[in-house]
Amino acid sequence: MSTPKTPFAPAEPGIAAGSAPGTAPDTGDALADAFAAEYSVRPIPAAGPVDTTPITGTPAALDSLDALWKAVVHETRTRGNDIHLPISLAFAERLCRAYPDADADLVRVATLLHDTGWAHVDESRIISEGFTGDWRKAAIRYEHEQQGCDVARRVLPALGYSTEFIERVCEIIDGHDTRPVARSLEDALMRDADRLWRFDRAGIALASSWFGMDPATYTDRLATEIVPELITQAAHDMAAADLNRSNALLKTAVIR
């Protein structure tokens, strides 16, 4: 399946509308504007292979990240991170193969750590504030991003990561939910991986409960709200394949 390519327009929430075709919109964010100018066609076409098979067939395979996983076991035990983060990382690795120009190490580490901050905020507020109303602007969303950066700065130095690399990781974590635009290809791939896990049946089972939705309502939301947020063509293709499989498995056309 292929999504029609168009000059960059509001493919992401909050992007300024009204720009001339083929030009990058002025978002007021210099890094985001530079990224939009470099990748002006959206969804961004893939340069490498796109794997749309079930994600269970290609779990994240790099043993080199095992030490990092072990360093954040505590952070995986909040808000379903022990399901969300491994599946998101598996999608991130697929996206890195589809976009070989990206810094794969940066995408992988940022994806693994991006939601670890949920373990360091008031857990009673995660669902009540972070998944209701205008949840992208909820104060607890900003808090978990800041806490995630703190986790990265705490655990990564001992594992041999440079200060420059750690700050690049934090630039992606800080704003991954609350900033409406991506600032780099690596940022875009992490954002897409963070969304793609929701299309898998495990993601639907977990995330639909956060929003108080039945599976049919939630998969409708994926199609109408989350698909338009995807930045890359590879992510669009993966999401479409997974959503078709999940809808068929869960009989959402009937059980609604």
Q: What is the pLDDT of residues 70-89, one digit of tens each?
A: 999 999 999 899 999 999 99
Domains of the chain: 49-250 (1.10.3210.10)
pLDDT for 28 equals 82
pLDDT for 14 equals 36
- 88 within 8 A of 194, measured Cβ to Cβ: yes
Confidence at 30, pLDDT banded by 50, 70, 90 = very high
- C-alpha distances in Å from residue 27, one per residue of 6, 24, 33, 147, 247: 18, 9, 6, 26, 36
- 220 within 8 A of 227, measured Cβ to Cβ: no
Distance of alpha carbon 8 from alpha carbon 23, whole angstroms: 7
pLDDT for 124 equals 72
Distance of alpha carbon 108 from alpha carbon 43, whole angstroms: 21
How far from each other are the two terminal CA atoms of the chain, in whole angstroms? 26
Distance of alpha carbon 233 from alpha carbon 6, whole angstroms: 11
Kindly report the average pLDDT of the chain as a whole number: 89
Chain-centre distance for alpha carbon 123: 21
Q: Reduce the secondary structure of 124-138 to three states and give it as a string.
A: HHHHHHHCCCCHHHC
pLDDT digits (tens, 9 = 90+) for 202-233: 999 999 998 899 999 999 999 999 999 999 99
- 188 within 8 A of 35, measured Cβ to Cβ: yes
